Amino acid sequence: MDGFSLHAAVHIPASDRERLEHLCRYIARPPFSADRLTLTPRGRVHYELRRPWRDGTTHVVFDAQVFLERLAALVPPPRAHLQTYHGVLAPASTWRDDIVPGAGRSQTGGHSGTARAAAPSRRPPHRYLWAELMRRVFGLDVLRCSVCGKQRRLIALITQRQVIVRILSHLKLDVHPPPILPARAPPQLELAF
């Protein structure tokens, strides 16, 4: 309708974990099956189709470079949303709180003229504190003292180089930062064919 295709008939009860896992696996499936890929002796990529096409085609053969071009086209651009929601599922929709579960809202009220007493939704901040990031990513509570176990608090943030050098020198610590290593390429994954 109006250029959009939405299939919203799939629903799974919260207690049916097996069907939920099946749906999650279906949504997160890769674009092709590596089990059906083979490399020919001439260096071409041979992909076996799951079902024969109407004309009887059972395999598709690509040059390696063409296959990689087609595969690269499936990779989304960085920091881009893969799904865009419209209508009541859109982020700014006034009805979104009524249909999206969670976020600790009151279940009473709605858009039928009755007043809503919704609790304010707790969203994560756009910028986390450094200590919170260390706790979330590495599981380290950097604000907890390792000697006494009490919670530390930030009393000063020193940004002047001369003061930092004086403090580090007094503590007999190295005042020069470690050298920055050159960037390296990411480890390449081998294709299974």
pTM of this structure: 0.34
Q: How confident is the model at residue 117 (pLDDT cuts 50, 70, 90)?
A: very low
Q: Where in the sequence is the domain holding 152, given as residue range(s)?
A: 130-170
* Same domain as 63, residue 156: no
Mean pLDDT, the chain, integer: 78
H helix runs in 62-151, sequence order: 64-72, 96-99, 130-138
Least confident range from 48-52, 126-130, 168-172: namely: 126-130
**Structure confidence at residue 113 (pLDDT):** 44
* Same domain as 145, residue 64: no
Span 42-51, average pLDDT:
90
* Cβ proximity of 124 and 132 under 8 Å: no
Residues 174, 175, 177, 179, CA torsion sign: negative
Would you say residue 125 lies in a domain? no
Backbone dihedral region of 103: left (phi > 0), alpha (psi from -120 to 50 degrees) or beta?
left
* Same domain as 145, residue 98: no
Q: Look at residue 79 and tell me whether its pLDDT is greater than 80.
A: no
Would you say residue 116 lies in a domain? no
H helix runs in the chain, sequence order: 17-27, 64-72, 96-99, 130-138, 161-170
Q: How confident is the model at residue 115 (pLDDT cuts 50, 70, 90)?
A: very low
Would you say residue 175 lies in a domain? no
Number of domains in the chain: 2
Q: How confident is the model at residue 112 (pLDDT cuts 50, 70, 90)?
A: very low
Query: 18-41 pLDDT, tens per residue?
Result: 988 888 888 777 777 888 889 999
Would you say residue 36 lies in a domain? yes
Report the alpha-carbon distance of residue 48 to residue 39 in Å, rounded: 11
- Which strands form 44-48's sheet, in the order they lie side by side? 37-39, 44-48, 59-63
Would you say residue 115 lies in a domain? no
Would you say residue 149 lies in a domain? yes
Report the alpha-carbon distance of residue 19 to residue 10 in Å, rounded: 11
* Same domain as 64, residue 2: yes
* Same domain as 73, residue 36: yes
Domain endpoint, select from 90, 105, 120 = 105
* Same domain as 144, residue 94: no
* Same domain as 43, residue 137: no
